[in-house]
Chains A and B, each alone.
Chain A
Amino acid sequence: MSKLDVTDIQGFALRGYNFPFARYLFVKILDKRKGQECLGRFIGDVTTGERWDTGKPRTTVNVAFTFKGLVALGLPEASLLSFPVEFAQGMKARGAILADTGRNSPRHWDALWQEEVHAWVGVHGQSPQDLDKQCENLQEQLQETGGAAVIGSQDAAALQIDGKFSSKEHFGYTDGFGNPEFLGVEKDAQPGQGKLKSNGGWEPLATGELLLGYADEAGELPLAPLPHLLANNGTFMVYRKLHQNVATFRRYLKEKGELYPGGMEKLAAKFVGRWRDGTPLELSPDGGDPKIVADKNQNVNFTYGNDLAGLRCPVGAHIRRTSPRDAFGFNGKLVNRRRISRRGMVYGPYVREDQEVRNEDEHGVVFMALNASIFRQFEFVQQQWIEYGNDARQGNDKDVLLGNHEDGGKFMIQGTEDPKNPPFLCGGLPNFVELRGGDYFFMPSITALRMIATNSVDPR
């Protein structure tokens, strides 16, 4: 394949920036012409995929649009009608497929999502002051042109534990391991990150699993809007605000951990497939090992082929369901078209294990996923691997952490006759995580942003 033009691709599509602070602004386009003008002035600020040879910047800025946003910006109908259906419908309309029902249904989402969101502006920064400064700049541009207004925002920040930034989330798990590698995207190669080769090694996935305009794992071009220049080097982003019921999680883990002969920490590890320090259960079934966590050649480098019965990592553990590697057989070939790039960010303050915590308080993860096809990749993972268990041979059982259990789920932990690793069943699963908002976004290339801003998208 040809080399990627990283100056034309939004940096956020290619890599997680690993900044401790973020603010996501949600924008409404007020006027088509002024909105275009506003976008035109803004493009220069957008962070591309170029390498940071002179060190990290203070902030990054990226932008993506909902379908309604593209309508408001005046894209021609022939272009609008060429977008994939799930994107045009938006996430709310896909609720039945995603199991965004009951407590996860849109009527329970934050007030912001009761309005029409047109654009997402993601600002990442090294400090809250950097974020403020960047956001003030943006606000000025919006006000001067009168083309758009911020109707809501979401702050997020890495948890600070004992004064230090941590990569943990609120349930205490070290997060952020494992994102697929794609052909042409520069990254420190890490064994375990791409797709399995027949000799047991790993190689990057086809570029077209992430970016529009390139061949995907089937050798096809992903479904993309017209004209090609509007689509090429762009991608689709899923944004979901996942509220964490921290009190419920801690109570449940403690209660079941007292019954589980392996103890509470091991039970927590069985839920996810990693010890809470990040050590994969497959590599270290008896306890966490900081050496493995720190070793890039080990911390995502494992398969399930020698543990088909789930005796180390349960068959229904979170990371085994959502990135099954070779767990479904055929040397992992069944999963290569279902991979997503995650860009998660935690929100809400850390509450120590020995301190009181309430479900109502703002704790959660802003889950963002990038993929070439929301339908084939994110929606499939959500519907089939999180909210259903057939592929993982778990019947109707849902993902223990993310599933919409409605207080009725169960999670089976496979085990042996070893008294410290017996089979164990977790029943009466509550919803540990609830959806509080989100939508589907199109993240255009820099070229496409210019086309939109100059009203020159021409699908003919």
Chain B
Amino acid sequence: MANRSGSVYGLTILSPIKDDLHAEVSHSQAIRMYLQTIPQDQRSPLARVSSTHMARLLVMDDVVYFGMPSCEEHLSAKYLIFESNFDGDLDTYLGRLAREAKEEVDALWQHCQDYPGVEDEGAFIAYMKKCQVETTFYFADVNDKTVQQTLRALQTQSAVATFIEKNQGKPPDELQKEFVKFFAALRNAPEPMPGSGRAREVTDKLL
């Protein structure tokens, strides 16, 4: 199934944006204005939905016309596009989105046609699935690891590098003693926070 690459689910949603001639600010503009206020770091609502690897929200206005010899075409509506790579199954993820990023989801999708809101989770999930198109292409770096496994791996890699830096060349028994200590510290290290790409800072504290 193309919507899944190993354990990672690739979600693509296109929701038609309302077209209201009488609106003071068009719905697509309102979405763009709201998107510009969403933080992109650890404070991102999508960091809250912690099974998200990466996600993107954008507005697609229309088909861009490049001039002859291409033919001029138009979409029937503007679309809010939501792309997300996450762990687990779709229903669980959409459910988490409805609960854990409720305010942002409402603020964005209220500008879309037939959006039922998030209060009725079943209706929300059904709506999002209706807007789903098949994902056929993934970011090259998508692998078969969960977000937590990835963050852990980065933390471990960085910690091991620091360990080697400090201990390479020591006599075997001393090295082993240091390694046992290091290994225990690493195993007991707290899980890295979602959105905390900078594993180095975490491990520096750890060691």
Q: Which residues of A contact B (CB under 8 A)?
A: 259, 395, 410, 412, 424-425, 427-428
User: Is the pair B165, A410 in contact by a Cβ cutoff of 8 Å?
Assistant: yes
Q: What CA separation (Å) do A416 and B161 show in the bound complex?
A: 17
| A425–B164 touching, CB < 8 Å | yes
Question: 6 tightest CB-CB pairs across the interface, nearest first?
Answer: A427-B165, A425-B164, A259-B169, A425-B165, A410-B161, A425-B161
Q: A410 CA to B162 CA in the complex, in Å?
A: 9
Chain A residues with Cβ under 8 A from B168's Cβ? 259, 424-425
A contact residues around B165 at 8 Å (CB)? 410, 425, 427-428
Interface residues of B in 128-176 (CB under 8 A from A): 157, 161-162, 164-166, 168-169
A316 to B43, CA, bound (A): 34
Give me 8 other A-B pairs in contact (C-beta within 8 A), A412-B161, A427-B164 excluded: A259-B169, A395-B157, A424-B168, A425-B161, A425-B164, A427-B161, A427-B162, A427-B165
Q: List 17 A-B contacts (CB under 8 A).
A: A259-B168, A259-B169, A395-B157, A410-B161, A410-B165, A412-B161, A424-B168, A425-B161, A425-B164, A425-B165, A425-B168, A427-B161, A427-B162, A427-B164, A427-B165, A427-B166, A428-B165
> CA of A425 to CA of B157 in the docked complex: distance in angstroms?
13
* Residue among B161, B165, B168 with max Cβ neighbours from chain A (10 Å): B168
When distances are taken between beta carbons in the complex, the residues of chain A under 8 Å from B169 are: 259
In the complex, A158 Cα to B157 Cα: how many Å? 43
- B162, closest chain A residue (CB): A427
Nearest CB on B from A257, distance (A): 12
* Chief secondary structure at chain A's binding surface: strand
Report the separation of the CA atoms of residues A259 and B166 in the bound assembly, to the nearest whole angstrom.
Answer: 12
Chain B residues near A424 (CB-CB < 8 A): 168
CB distance from B175 to the nearest CB of A (A): 13
Residues in A with CB closer than 8 Å to B166 are 427
Cα A356 to Cα B164 in complex, Å, equals 31
Which residues of chain B have C-beta atoms less than 8 A from A410's C-beta? 161, 165
A427 nearest in chain B by CB position? B165
Q: How far is the CA of A259 from the CA of B168 in the complex (A)?
A: 8
Cα distance A428–B157 in the bound complex, in angstroms:
16
A425 to B168 CA separation, bound complex (whole angstroms): 8
- A121 to B153 CA separation, bound complex (whole angstroms): 52
Which residues on A sit within 8 Å (CB–CB) of B164? 425, 427
> Which among A395, A412, A428 has the highest number of chain B CB atoms within 10 Å?
A395
Nearest B residue to A390 via CB reads: B141
Q: Nearest-CB distance from B12 to chain A (Å)?
A: 25
Note all chain B residues with C-beta closer than 8 A to A428. 165
Whose C-beta in chain B lies nearest to the C-beta of A422?
B168
How many whole Å from A339's CB to the nearest CB in chain B? Answer: 23
Instruction: Give Cα distance in the complex from A259 to B169, angstroms.
Output: 6
CB distance from B157 to the nearest CB of A (A): 8
Min Cβ gap B111→A in Å is 34
Residue in chain B with minimal CB distance to A410: B161
Residues in B whose Cβ lies below 8 Å from that of A412:
161
**Residue-by-residue, is B161-205 near A (CB-CB < 8 Å gives 1, otherwise 0)?**
110111011000000000000000000000000000000000000
Q: How far is the CB of A406 from chain B (nearest CB, A)?
A: 13
Write out the residue numbers on chain B whose beta carbons fall within 8 Å of the beta carbon of A427: 161-162, 164-166
Closest to B169 in A: A259
Question: With a CB–CB cut-off of 8 A, which chain A residues contact B161?
Answer: 410, 412, 425, 427
Which chain B residues border A259 with CB–CB below 8 Å?
A: 168-169
Q: Which residue of B lies closest to A426 (CB)?
A: B165
In the docked arrangement, what's the CA distance between A428 and B162, Å? 9
Q: Which residue of B lies closest to A428 (CB)?
A: B165
Cα–Cα distance between A259 and B164 once the two chains are bound (Å): 12
Q: How far is the CA of A395 from the CA of B200 in the complex (A)?
A: 12
A254 CB, nearest partner CB in chain B, Å: 15
A424 and chain B: residue at smallest CB distance: B168
- How far is B101's CA from A214's CA once the two chains are assembled, in angstroms? 53
| A120: min CB distance to chain B, Å | 40
CA distance A249 to B23 in the complex (A): 66
Q: Give 1 or 0 for each of B39-69: 1 = CB within 8 Å of chain A CB.
A: 0000000000000000000000000000000
Q: How far is the CA of A106 from the CA of B168 in the complex (A)?
A: 38
A428 to B168: give the CA distance in the assembly, Å. 14
Chain A residues within 8 Å of B157, by CB:
395
Query: Which residue of chain A is the closest to B157 with respect to CB atoms?
Result: A395
Could you tell me the distance between the alpha carbons of A427 and B157 in the complex, rounded to whole angstroms?
14
CB distance from A259 to the nearest CB of B (A): 5
